[in-house]
């Protein structure tokens, strides 16, 4: 059995592409309405010519909205209530042969939690508001149960593995050629072709979806033949990392089905986006089965092309994938402990107590921190604020924080000790930086005496005896902010505020509603705020460096609203280094660039990393299913809940505890 696709022989340095490059302008090269079979059947040649000339208008506001970075799903509040209500008279659930959705066979069903917090409101991937996270999430860790991508990202080794693609791509002078697997099919039996890849590019550009920004560095995508696609980089806006971003991130859509939907609205983009897409078809191993206010269920496609020997060689083990809609984390946790959930993707404190109590529960790692850290939630300074524009103030606070307490009290021990840098705790990222060279600039935490001495030496002292230091006549009084209900973040900022008090800083915590928080950090209406940028991605640490530091020559300092570099930090050399990295192929030179970038970061301290947070809380209950992926089990399957990127390989290895 061929369980794995052929490993891409791509150097890690080449794989560091960007997630959201907001500061660089430009719109997708192709914005004309995508040509479909339905269009061709009903339009005259004159009408086709006119349609091909039509370009979707894109205002600056729309561009920046498309470039907004969403908060990671794992940072949902402990009491996340559904944000949307299902319409009782809405589209009917798919009518497929199978079992009663209210009485699914337990030994054929894999249950999830933590991924779906409300009833499904759309099956349309072009919608701005679809909420089917289990099947529509697009990132470096794209969900691959229904729609599939060309390649799969594996956060364990930082590499890409072919999925729809037939082996490695070929690149020459900014032109990428990719073969599509001969066996690849849609769930209705139609072949998946290069035209579907072209259509996906065109329809995202035409509808100005959130994915359109990821394609603005592509000048065109063409089908050379039925199974060969050619992607050409924009020569005037050349960034090979942004081209590679497309490969694991973008779902490929069916031209013959979704194209007909698009064509039926005669170019009305809003109408296209608002269509439920009730007849959706995908190429993945599962398809829609039943949706209601209490659960979503997908059923295995037993004709799935991936059972071909060119891919997995068999079908995934569970017949059904189901997700009950829980009211909050506590309800999901109770169901998990009772064996009603097999795969949990939610924060559950002191998870080890479950197996100490005899429950058949396990995590990806057997020992602390139990999960693989990928995100780096940080205290971000608004460096344009008087007092916080002083690097000594920022560094002193970084030195005084008790990171061990954050790890234990806020993160329940699910983080490794903090090593300050713009790389996370995984070897693929740290290998890109000379970590030894950074040691003289790094802080260790709880260095209160040293931090106070640093402030005294800089003349940042309390001059009026009220216990609060001043710098240039400004008292060090600030708010530290994050959304209400994000308990691990709330606890972390309380610890930050306590550290400030020991230094003569008055830091008061402020926990507004999530929408207020987002507006504050985007518009610069904050002092210090908890911020989290890129999670697991093959382009890190470049992407995290860009999102944290890149100022586009200072343009973000005057922008009314920003979606990266919330600190409004600006440094010409930093911008230069971030611009140099994407086209550099010499690994030694890349290490030199990344090391210098981190040295500047640790000197200027625009943000303070507080914890390493997993991109997914991969926790399993083996009451029904077993043989879930674990670290060092020889399979190299990452801990992304058997749905995202290369973790989907784990579905093919599952076994029943009691067959």
For residue 220, the cross-strand partners are 232
Q: What is the mean pLDDT of the chain?
A: 86
For residue 159, the cross-strand partners are 154
Clarify whether residues 269 and 378 are in a common domain: no
CATH number of the domain that residue 244 is part of? 3.90.76.10
Indicate whether 182 belongs to any domain.
yes
Mean pLDDT confidence for 529-552: 90
Lowest pLDDT segment from 121-135, 205-219, 465-479: 205-219
Clarify whether residues 491 and 608 are in a common domain: yes
CATH number of the domain that residue 541 is part of? 3.10.105.10
| Final residue of a structural domain among 273, 303, 331 | 273
For the stretch 612-647, what's the b/e string if a residue is b when 16 or more beta carbons lie within 10 angstroms of its beta carbon?
A: bbbbbbbbbbbbbbbbbbbbeeeebbbbbbbbbbbb
Angle 584-587-590 from CA coordinates, rounded to 5°: 55
Reported pTM? 0.81
Q: Calculate the alpha carbon distances from 264 to 42, 78, 186, 268 in Å.
A: 10, 42, 21, 9
Lowest pLDDT segment from 86-100, 515-529, 628-642: 86-100
**What whole-number distance in Å separates Cα of residue 11 and Cα of residue 336?**
40
Clarify whether residues 44 and 156 are in a common domain: yes
Query: Residue length, the chain?
Result: 659
Confidence of residue 34 (pLDDT cuts 50, 70, 90): low
Rg (CA), the chain: 25
Mean pLDDT confidence for 559-565: 91
Segment holding 289, helix H or strand E: strand 286-291
Indicate whether 441 belongs to any domain.
yes
Segment holding 112, helix H or strand E: strand 109-113
Domains of the chain: total: 2
Percent of the chain with pLDDT over 90: 72
Q: What is the pLDDT of residues 334-363, one digit of tens each?
A: 999 999 999 999 989 999 999 999 999 999
**What whole-number distance in Å separates Cα of residue 85 and Cα of residue 68?**
24
| Final residue of a structural domain among 273, 292, 322 | 273
**274 CB burial (10 A radius; 0-12, 13-18, 19+):** middle
Lowest pLDDT segment from 168-177, 241-250, 453-462: 241-250
Torsion (CA) 402, 349, 292, 187 in degrees, nearest 10 = 80
Task: Output 598 or 330, whichever has higher pLDDT.
Answer: 598
Indicate whether 24 belongs to any domain.
no
Nearest CA-CA partner of 210 in 238, 237, 249: 249
**What whole-number distance in Å separates Cα of residue 121 and Cα of residue 129?**
8
Confidence of residue 117 (pLDDT cuts 50, 70, 90): confident
Crossing angle of the two packed helices 194-206 and 255-264, in degrees rounded to 10 = 30
pLDDT above 60: residue 14:
no
Clarify whether residues 477 and 602 are in a common domain: yes
CA 342 to chain centre: 23
Q: What is the pLDDT of residues 390-414, one digit of tens each?
A: 999 999 999 999 999 999 999 999 9
Q: HSE-up of 641 (CA within 13 Å, CB side)? A: 32
Phi and psi at residue 482, to the nearest 5°: -165, 170
Indicate whether 593 belongs to any domain.
yes
Mean pLDDT confidence for 511-529: 95
Indicate whether 481 belongs to any domain.
yes
Q: What is the pLDDT of residues 567-601, one digit of tens each?
A: 999 999 999 999 999 999 999 999 999 999 999 99
Indicate whether 317 belongs to any domain.
no
| Final residue of a structural domain among 207, 241, 273 | 273
Segment holding 323, helix H or strand E: strand 320-324
Residues in CB range of 560: below 8 A, 6 or more apart: 523
Indicate whether 217 belongs to any domain.
yes
Q: Which domain covers residue 166, as residue numbers?
A: 37-82+126-273
Nearest CA-CA partner of 359 in 379, 380, 344: 344
Residue 37 is predicted with a pLDDT of 39
pLDDT above 70: residue 81:
no
Confidence of residue 485 (pLDDT cuts 50, 70, 90): confident
**What whole-number distance in Å separates Cα of residue 645 and Cα of residue 631?**
16
Token pair, residue 264, equals: 């039926």
Q: Calculate the alpha carbon distances from 246 to 20, 353, 359, 556 in Å.
A: 12, 41, 41, 25
Task: Output 4 or 445, whichever has higher pLDDT.
Answer: 445
Nearest CA-CA partner of 373 in 72, 34, 70, 166: 72
| Residues 550 and 565 sit within 8 Å (Cβ to Cβ) | yes
pLDDT above 50: residue 66:
no
Indicate whether 539 belongs to any domain.
yes
Task: Output 269 or 71, whichever has higher pLDDT.
Answer: 269
């Amino acid at each position: 059995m061929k369980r794995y696709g052929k490993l891409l022989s791509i150097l890690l340095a080449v794989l560091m592409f960007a997630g959201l490059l907001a500061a660089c302008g430009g719109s997708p090269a192709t914005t004309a309405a995508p040509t479909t079979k339905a269009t061709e059947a009903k339009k005259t040649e004159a009408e086709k010519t006119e349609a091909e000339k039509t370009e979707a208008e894109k205002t600056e506001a729309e561009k920046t909205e498309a470039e907004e970075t969403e908060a990671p799903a794992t940072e949902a509040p402990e009491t996340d209530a559904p944000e949307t209500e299902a319409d009782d008279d809405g589209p009917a659930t798919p009518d497929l042969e199978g079992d009663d959705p209210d009485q699914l066979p337990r030994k054929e069903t894999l249950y999830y939690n933590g991924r779906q917090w409300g009833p499904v409101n759309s099956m349309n991937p072009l919608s701005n508001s679809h909420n089917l996270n289990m099947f529509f999430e697009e990132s470096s860790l794209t969900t691959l149960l229904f729609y599939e991508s060309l390649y799969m990202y594996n956060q364990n080794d930082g590499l890409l593995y072919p999925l729809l693609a037939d082996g490695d791509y070929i690149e020459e002078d900014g032109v990428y050629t990719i073969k599509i697997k001969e066996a690849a099919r849609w769930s209705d039996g139609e072949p998946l072709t290069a035209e579907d890849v072209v259509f996906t590019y065109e329809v995202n550009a035409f509808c100005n979806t959130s994915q359109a920004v990821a394609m603005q560095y592509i000048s065109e995508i063409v089908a050379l033949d039925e199974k060969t696609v050619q992607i050409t980089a924009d020569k005037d806006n050349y960034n090979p990392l942004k081209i590679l971003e497309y490969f694991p991130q973008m779902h490929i859509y069916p031209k013959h089905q979704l194209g007909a939907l698009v064509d039926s609205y005669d170019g009305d983009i809003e109408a296209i986006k608002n269509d439920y897409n009730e007849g959706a078809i995908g190429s993945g191993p599962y398809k829609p089965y039943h949706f209601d206010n209490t659960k979503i269920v997908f059923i295995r496609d037993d004709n799935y092309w991936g059972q071909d020997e060119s891919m997995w060689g068999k079908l995934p083990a569970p017949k059904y994938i189901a997700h009950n809609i829980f009211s909050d984390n506590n309800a999901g946790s109770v169901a998990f402990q009772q064996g009603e959930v097999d795969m949990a993707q939610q924060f559950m404190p002191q998870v080890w107590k479950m197996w100490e109590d005899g429950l058949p529960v396990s995590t990806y790692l057997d020992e602390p921190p139990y999960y693989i850290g990928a995100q780096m939630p940080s205290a971000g300074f608004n460096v344009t604020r008087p007092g916080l524009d002083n690097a000594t103030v920022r560094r002193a606070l970084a030195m005084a924080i008790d990171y061990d307490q954050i790890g234990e009290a806020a993160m329940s021990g699910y983080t490794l000790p903090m090593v300050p840098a713009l790389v996370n705790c995984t070897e693929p990222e740290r290998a890109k930086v000379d970590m030894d060279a950074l040691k003289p600039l790094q802080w260790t935490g709880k260095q209160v005496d040293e931090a106070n001495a640093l402030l005294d030496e800089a003349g940042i002292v309390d001059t009026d005896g009220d216990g609060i230091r001043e710098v240039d006549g400004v008292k060090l009084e600030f708010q530290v902010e994050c959304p209400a209900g994000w308990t691990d973040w709330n606890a972390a900022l309380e610890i930050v505020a306590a550290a400030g008090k020991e230094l003569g800083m008055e830091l008061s915590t402020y926990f507004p509603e999530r929408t207020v928080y987002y507006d504050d950090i985007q518009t610069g209406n904050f002092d210090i705020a908890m911020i989290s940028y890129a999670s697991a991605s093959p382009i890190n640490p470049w992407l995290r460096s860009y999102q944290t530091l890149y100022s586009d020559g200072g343009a973000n300092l005057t922008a009314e609203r920003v979606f990266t570099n919330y600190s409004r930090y600006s440094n010409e050399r930093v911008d230069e280094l971030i611009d140099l990295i994407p086209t550099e192929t010499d690994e030694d030179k890349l290490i030199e660039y990344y090391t210098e970038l981190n040295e500047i970061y640790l000197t200027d301290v625009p943000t303070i990393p507080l914890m390493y947070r997993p991109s997914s809380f991969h926790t399993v209950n083996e009451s029904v299913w077993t043989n879930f992926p674990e670290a060092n089990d020889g399979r190299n399957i990452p801990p992304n809940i058997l749905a995202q990127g290369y973790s989907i390989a784990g579905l093919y290895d599952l076994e029943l505890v009691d067959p």
